[in-house]
Chains A and B, each alone.
Chain A
């Protein structure tokens, strides 16, 4: 078990930047997720821990040991690959025992540990199966067993669930979490699926274009995104251009979609100079529907009401044409009609004000 520390890591591929100036600490025993769209540098970061990619600049520590240029087979990390990378010419037993054989463990010790781990991933009795005779979920569990049996100081998971169907994915999610808890092993998990990241992680690092945008607990990432990219990549958000009118005390007054909103200074990214165009963000489920005008309130006409069962999705148009989305739980506010005039209230504590729009990937 170990922590991982990245110190000013940059990785260049010819003239493309893979990862730019990364400073990151993954704590001992933590389930840490690297989240981002494809090509954002999350897999490169993972592969630098495993040693398949060497950083162009900076240093990496595994615990107190610097591993920046240690070859991959001397790092004692356990990795589960996206396609599992099971050895097709070996049985389940031989696959799982491979790392132990390489470490020259005695045969009885090897057998004991393999049996033990296969039991923990619920694959006892599959020892002599060929890899091609296993289902996707079983292959996944062999890959996990193979990585865990060497008692690695850190477990690396590279989008391990992306090849499974939806139902199996849910099942494996809890299985991986259960294994993480029972082994207490530091785990680094790469995914582009925000639901996976939010439900599984102790902490998340959100990546975009080689840069780490924000590190925090799932709540922090979701509730207080640092910028517009994080807000729109993790969960949904309404993003509208806003002009800063003035700053008074603890709040900033902005004008967006021809309405006035007060945003707490703590929720503002950057300086917010008067006259500057910024971006106002609010999650659909934070939008409240009210019957009359008031502060932080905008008058809208409903366009599309979608009944989803446990919730209702409402798309509405402000007077200047800006589209806004709102999500209401089923037990409130029944009987909305399309084309109805309403008021949306944006609670000040749920607003965020960002400097940039954060381009879509």
Chain B
């Protein structure tokens, strides 16, 4: 017995660096990911002081089937979102990859523009355009001389439209990068063996794209299941699960909220596990030197100019939300009411942003909380990525899953978990109640964005040759010196790119904010909602424009100085 303990201790001592580094990582993951999830589960199986699955029975068979209906609606909406996103994203990727025509590069750039809209801002701009009193709606009504709006953005079609607009980018980017990895000579070989164009597509191209198509489908499905902003603003009476959680919490039915969270978590986690399994299963990417893609120039003038025309149309549709927000941000409060188009423009909203402290405060809150969260993400991300890639220990796979969990879980669920864990004094809250304080929001941002920093940093570590660290150690540097002087500078670009992404995402965060904010730390997104409620569209747009500019700046910096490709930011 004694002897065994000695062996274990010696083992721990030899790997002490790993253990010392692992401790804080485990503390964070257990305390702020695992423990809150556990707390939600515990709350879901307690009913009137008894343990049991009574509430689950009610979820599935209760008097009103509203919960089951919400679950079904979420799945249904997500499936439709996958289909529509694929129908737009895949052909777009194929066309841009195969054919060259005037303006292609510009169209390609425009195709990823939906990514710079934070979810709430995206939905809002769609309301401004296609809602009951939207610009496009009013224009059509005006042109046709109708007395009522010809259409209005709401319900399933409305949510689907917004989902397709924001999520086709996942298909577009994954398929594009798969096509780039595809060696053209494989298709040529098929042609050489006598296959016509359709046969080549069906038997060669499509099967080779299947892994990326499945990956994108899973991603869209998960994002769509977790989607909150679109249903929040557009659902009307339509129930979806992520929204039901919010309503349960609002009505004070915390236990039902816990059950709904657990069920949504189970769906998300099973998708996460399936995705990991699928990624490890098939990889057709054969690495080879000197693969050169080629694009066929479109010769037929009719086809060429039709493509150009469609491209311009696409750019217009894709960028309309951005321009609308910019345009409306110049409309002063109360000047656009019954008119078809806004008539007065001024810088008033922007001036108010600087001058009025109550309008400036949300921006300051958001920046400050995002900065805090990102600083935490950076520290935690470097440590975790290093451990995951460069150190050997048991349970690594589990750690990897724990790291991915906060991103795979819907933001609503993450927020609910935090509420269940920290609305009472807890060990991991250092004996304080965190809910209702300033600190709960930065904590939520931090947890949710852990994977955003860990993943690119891990990729950077993976490219690093182990011999670099060994060489530094061999030359007499201690572990910390080797890490600081050799390793860290080399992984810095990947790390910074991740941190910047985490920062802008935190600045625009809406979903967990809406469940956790207090009046003193209300972030931009909550203030946008407030302005919308007061029909002050101009001020809401000005906030949105601020966010878009920040995101555009970060993307530019990442792309230009940190060498980050767009598809790696997924």
Contacts from A to B (Cβ < 8 Å):
50-52, 71-79, 81-83, 85-89, 98-99, 102-103, 132, 146-147, 150
B337-352 with Cβ < 8 A to chain A? none
Contact A98 B192 (CB under 8 A): no
Contact B189 A73 (CB under 8 A): no
Contact B194 A89 (CB under 8 A): no
Q: How large is the interface on B (under 10, 10 to 19, 20 to 34, 35 or more residues)?
A: 20 to 34
When distances are taken between beta carbons in the complex, the residues of chain B under 8 Å from A146 are 189, 193
Q: How far is the CA of A86 from the CA of B192 in the complex (A)?
A: 12
Q: How far is the CA of A83 from the CA of B288 in the complex (A)?
A: 8
Q: Does B481 contact A (CB under 8 A)?
A: no
From B186, B191, B194, contact of A87 by CB (8 A) = B186
When distances are taken between beta carbons in the complex, the residues of chain A under 8 Å from B18 are none
Q: How far is the CA of A164 from the CA of B72 in the complex (A)?
A: 56
When distances are taken between beta carbons in the complex, the residues of chain A under 8 Å from B203 are 98
**Known A81-B189, A85-B183; further 14 A-B contacts with Cβ < 8 A:** A51-B191, A52-B188, A72-B192, A73-B191, A73-B192, A73-B193, A73-B194, A73-B195, A77-B192, A86-B186, A87-B190, A98-B190, A102-B190, A132-B286
Contact A85 B185 (CB under 8 A): yes
Of B194, B204, B210, B284, the most chain A CB neighbours within 10 A belong to B194
Closest 8 pairs between A and B when the two form their complex, measured CB to CB: A99-B193, A85-B189, A85-B185, A88-B284, A79-B192, A81-B185, A85-B186, A72-B191
Q: Does B62 contact A (CB under 8 A)?
A: no
Q: List 23 A-B contacts (CB under 8 A).
A: A72-B192, A73-B191, A78-B192, A79-B192, A81-B185, A81-B189, A82-B185, A83-B183, A83-B185, A83-B288, A83-B291, A85-B185, A86-B189, A87-B190, A88-B186, A88-B208, A88-B286, A89-B207, A102-B190, A102-B194, A103-B194, A147-B192, A147-B193
Q: Does B15 contact A (CB under 8 A)?
A: no
- Minimum CB–CB distance from B553 to chain A (whole Å) comes to 37
Contact A98 B185 (CB under 8 A): no
Of B191, B196, B199, B204, the most chain A CB neighbours within 10 A belong to B191
When distances are taken between beta carbons in the complex, the residues of chain A under 8 Å from B284 are 88-89
Contact B186 A76 (CB under 8 A): no
- Minimum CB–CB distance from B208 to chain A (whole Å) comes to 6
Of B188, B191, B192, B204, the most chain A CB neighbours within 10 A belong to B192
Contact B194 A50 (CB under 8 A): no
When distances are taken between beta carbons in the complex, the residues of chain A under 8 Å from B207 are 89
When distances are taken between beta carbons in the complex, the residues of chain A under 8 Å from B183 are 83, 85
- Minimum CB–CB distance from A150 to chain B (whole Å) comes to 6
Contact B189 A79 (CB under 8 A): yes
> In the complex, how many residue pairs between chain A and chain B have their CB atoms under 8 Å apart?
71
Of B186, B193, B210, the most chain A CB neighbours within 10 A belong to B193
Q: How far is the CA of A272 from the CA of B545 in the complex (A)?
A: 78
Q: How far is the CA of A72 from the CA of B192 in the complex (A)?
A: 6
- Minimum CB–CB distance from A297 to chain B (whole Å) comes to 49
When distances are taken between beta carbons in the complex, the residues of chain A under 8 Å from B286 are 88, 132
Question: Given A88-B284, A88-B286, A89-B207, does the pair A81, B188 have CB atoms closer than 8 Å?
Answer: yes
Contacts from B to A (Cβ < 8 Å):
183, 185-186, 188-196, 199, 203-204, 207-208, 210, 284, 286, 288, 291
When distances are taken between beta carbons in the complex, the residues of chain B under 8 Å from A72 are 188, 191-192
Contact A98 B193 (CB under 8 A): yes
When distances are taken between beta carbons in the complex, the residues of chain A under 8 Å from B195 are 73, 98, 102
Q: How far is the CA of A140 from the CA of B194 in the complex (A)?
A: 20
Q: How far is the CA of A86 from the CA of B185 in the complex (A)?
A: 9
Q: How far is the CA of A82 from the CA of B186 in the complex (A)?
A: 11
- Minimum CB–CB distance from A136 to chain B (whole Å) comes to 11
- Minimum CB–CB distance from A80 to chain B (whole Å) comes to 9
Closest to B196 in A: A73
Question: Given A87-B204, A89-B207, does the pair A99, B194 have CB atoms closer than 8 Å?
Answer: yes
- Minimum CB–CB distance from A342 to chain B (whole Å) comes to 46
When distances are taken between beta carbons in the complex, the residues of chain B under 8 Å from A78 are 192-193
- Minimum CB–CB distance from B184 to chain A (whole Å) comes to 9
From A52, A77, A102, A147, contact of B199 by CB (8 A) = A102
When distances are taken between beta carbons in the complex, the residues of chain A under 8 Å from B191 are 51-52, 71-73
- Minimum CB–CB distance from B298 to chain A (whole Å) comes to 15
When distances are taken between beta carbons in the complex, the residues of chain B under 8 Å from A147 are 192-193
When distances are taken between beta carbons in the complex, the residues of chain A under 8 Å from B208 are 88-89
When distances are taken between beta carbons in the complex, the residues of chain B under 8 Å from A81 are 185, 188-189
Q: How far is the CA of A87 from the CA of B199 in the complex (A)?
A: 14
- Minimum CB–CB distance from A77 to chain B (whole Å) comes to 6
Q: How far is the CA of A176 from the CA of B196 in the complex (A)?
A: 28
Q: How far is the CA of A71 from the CA of B194 in the complex (A)?
A: 10
Closest to A14 in B: B297
Contact B190 A150 (CB under 8 A): no
From B188, B194, B199, B288, contact of A150 by CB (8 A) = B194
- Minimum CB–CB distance from B110 to chain A (whole Å) comes to 27
Q: How far is the CA of A102 from the CA of B193 in the complex (A)?
A: 8
- Minimum CB–CB distance from B292 to chain A (whole Å) comes to 11
- Minimum CB–CB distance from A138 to chain B (whole Å) comes to 15
Closest to B203 in A: A98
From A52, A89, A132, A150, contact of B193 by CB (8 A) = A150
Q: How far is the CA of A118 from the CA of B208 in the complex (A)?
A: 25
When distances are taken between beta carbons in the complex, the residues of chain B under 8 Å from A50 are 188, 192
- Minimum CB–CB distance from B287 to chain A (whole Å) comes to 11
Q: How far is the CA of A75 from the CA of B188 in the complex (A)?
A: 13
When distances are taken between beta carbons in the complex, the residues of chain B under 8 Å from A85 are 183, 185-186, 188-189
When distances are taken between beta carbons in the complex, the residues of chain B under 8 Å from A77 are 192
Q: How far is the CA of A147 from the CA of B194 in the complex (A)?
A: 11
Q: How far is the CA of A86 from the CA of B208 in the complex (A)?
A: 12
When distances are taken between beta carbons in the complex, the residues of chain A under 8 Å from B210 are 89
When distances are taken between beta carbons in the complex, the residues of chain A under 8 Å from B190 are 87, 98, 102
Q: How far is the CA of A76 from the CA of B414 in the complex (A)?
A: 60
- Minimum CB–CB distance from A30 to chain B (whole Å) comes to 20
